[in-house]
């Protein structure tokens, strides 16, 4: 892009010089036609230079606005999946199951308290009452998952829909298990391609955006939360878009 700007500026300067040369040295009959052509070239290169600076600025502005809306939906999906794991021990494999879970499931409200009881083995060994510390978990009640996460909002019913970009698109949702140290650990991933979010923007700038590797950018060709390859539930967006954990 910088090379193009330098070339365009150079072309503008050259065209202006040529206008001066035409005005000074060419016959009067030829001057008007050549001057018009050269001024048109100057206008063309000036416009292209302006566009090469302005369009990336507008692209980034629109990109950030769209990413912010998509991230809001990804956060809802992550919160819902974490609730699903808390209650069931695993993540939901599809949106139908996840939505049904939110509509019907309840969190168990518990309270932990310390206590002590007779240690029968040590009491028998030492012939004197010996106690051991224990933790007692009391069930206090139950709370609706829906009320806890979304209160009076029903946006969870449409959280599978990509909220902006190409119409009619949904997030890709996967769930399963990763084995680590002979233990199956539940994992999930929700994602959407940048091609979907930014489909109607400058294609050259979109190609560049999909190749981003930066601490303050969304790396890769998609926005995603969670992973099917690692045990993590964070998103791949930077802190500038909000908390990704």
Q: What is the pLDDT of residues 52-68, one digit of tens each?
A: 667 889 999 999 999 99
d(CA 195, CA 159): 19
Contacts of the segment 105-109: beta carbons below 8 A, 24+ positions apart = 105/144, 105/145, 106/142, 106/143, 106/144, 106/145, 107/83, 107/142, 107/143, 107/144, 107/145, 107/148, 108/139, 108/142, 109/139, 109/140, 109/141, 109/142, 109/143
Alpha-helical runs (H) found in 89-216: 95-104, 120-126, 145-150, 194-197, 203-210
H or E stretch including 31? helix 31-88
**pLDDT at 6 exceeding the cut of 80:** no
∠ at Cα 56 (54, 62), nearest 5°?
A: 105
Q: What is the pLDDT, as a whole number, of residue 4? A: 46
Q: Which two tokens stand for residue 190?
A: 């929700």
The SS3 of residue 140 is strand
Q: What is the pLDDT, as a whole number, of residue 93? A: 97
Give tens-digit pLDDT for 38-51.
667 666 666 566 56
Contact (Cβ atoms closer than 8 angstroms) between residue 86 and residue 107: yes
Q: What is the pTM of this model?
A: 0.74
With a pLDDT cut of 90, the percent of the chain lying above it is: 56
d(CA 68, CA 113): 42
Give tens-digit pLDDT for 131-140.
788 777 766 6
Lowest mean pLDDT among 32-36, 183-187, 203-207: 32-36
Other CB atoms within 10 A of residue 192 CB: 21
Mean pLDDT of 144-172: 96
Residue ranges of domains in the chain = 2-55, 56-241
Lowest mean pLDDT among 100-104, 106-110, 175-179: 106-110
């Amino acid at each position: 892009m910088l090379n193009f700007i330098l070339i365009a500026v150079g072309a503008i300067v050259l065209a202006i010089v040529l206008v001066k040369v035409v005005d000074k040295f060419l016959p009067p009959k030829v001057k008007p036609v050549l001057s018009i052509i050269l001024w048109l070239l100057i206008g063309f290169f000036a416009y292209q230079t302006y566009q090469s600076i302005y369009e990336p600025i507008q692209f980034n502005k629109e990109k950030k606005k769209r990413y912010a809306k998509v991230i809001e939906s990804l956060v809802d999906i992550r919160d819902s999946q974490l609730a699903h794991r808390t209650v069931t021990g695993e993540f939901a494999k599809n949106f139908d199951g996840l939505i049904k879970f939110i509509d019907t499931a309840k969190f168990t409200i518990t309270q932990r308290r310390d206590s002590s009881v007779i240690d029968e083995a040590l009491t028998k060994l030492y012939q004197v009452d010996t106690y051991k510390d224990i933790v007692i978990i009391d069930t206090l009640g139950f709370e609706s998952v829906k009320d806890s996460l979304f209160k009076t909002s029903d946006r969870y019913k449409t959280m599978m829909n990509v909220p902006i970009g190409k119409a009619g698109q949904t997030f890709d949702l996967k769930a399963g298990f990763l084995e680590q140290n002979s233990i199956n650990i539940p994992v999930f991933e929700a994602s959407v391609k940048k091609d979907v979010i930014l489909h109607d923007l400058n294609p050259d700038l979109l190609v560049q955006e999909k190749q981003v590797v930066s601490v303050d950018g969304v790396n890769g060709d998609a926005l995603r939360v969670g992973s099917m390859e690692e045990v993590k539930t964070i998103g791949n967006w930077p802190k500038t878009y909000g908390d990704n954990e």
